[in-house]
Amino acid sequence: MDNKLRNLFVAMLVVSVAALGVAAVLGAEWPVWVRGGAVAAASAWLISLTGQARRGSRSAYLRIRWISMIAPLGIVLIIVAPDSGFPVWMKAEQGVVGLLLIAVAVLVNRPAVRQAYARRGKLG
């Protein structure tokens, strides 16, 4: 795993912490706080997983890979839901997070990366 991946997760963390700052200034409702806090925590966790994957952890790589492919789908649902409880600015923030995750998915699904984390010693 290279620094590009970690930088994308750091960007996610910065964006989500900034969203929490906006929520504080605007006096946002609880769904914004829950989502913003969850995304910030997940970003920090993903930064940690990147370090583990860099040290060769296949399970960390697989977690990153699956999260980067599945989470953008949930973000799309938040953005398009007419009465999700999220203001437009939060939907825009989630869109940025989704784009960052899509970039992660592109990086971790490259053939060379997948090969580097392929199961070893399995017949067939």
Model pLDDT, residue 84: 81
The tokens of 82 are what? Answer: 């007419």
Give alpha helix (H) positions in the chain.
Answer: 3-26, 30-54, 58-80, 88-108, 111-116
Instruction: Give residue-wise pLDDT tens across range 102-122.
Output: 999 999 999 999 999 998 755
Of the chain, the end-to-end C-alpha distance in Å amounts to: 26
Average pLDDT over residues 29-48: 96
Contact 64, 42 (CB under 8 A): no
Length of the chain counted residue by residue: 124
- For residues 26 and 60, give the distance between their C-alpha atoms in angstroms, rounded to a whole number: 37
Among 18, 68, 12, smallest CA distance to 44 is for 12
Model pLDDT, residue 1: 64
Instruction: Give residue-wise pLDDT tens across range 42-101.
Output: 999 999 999 999 999 999 999 999 999 999 999 999 999 988 889 999 999 999 999 999
Q: Which residue has the tokens 């017949």?
A: 123
Q: Quote the distance between the C-alpha of residue 12 and its chain's center.
A: 7
Question: What confidence tier does 4 reach under pLDDT thresholds 50, 70, 90?
Answer: very high
Q: Is the pTM of this model over 0.75?
A: yes
Average pLDDT value over all residues in the chain: 93
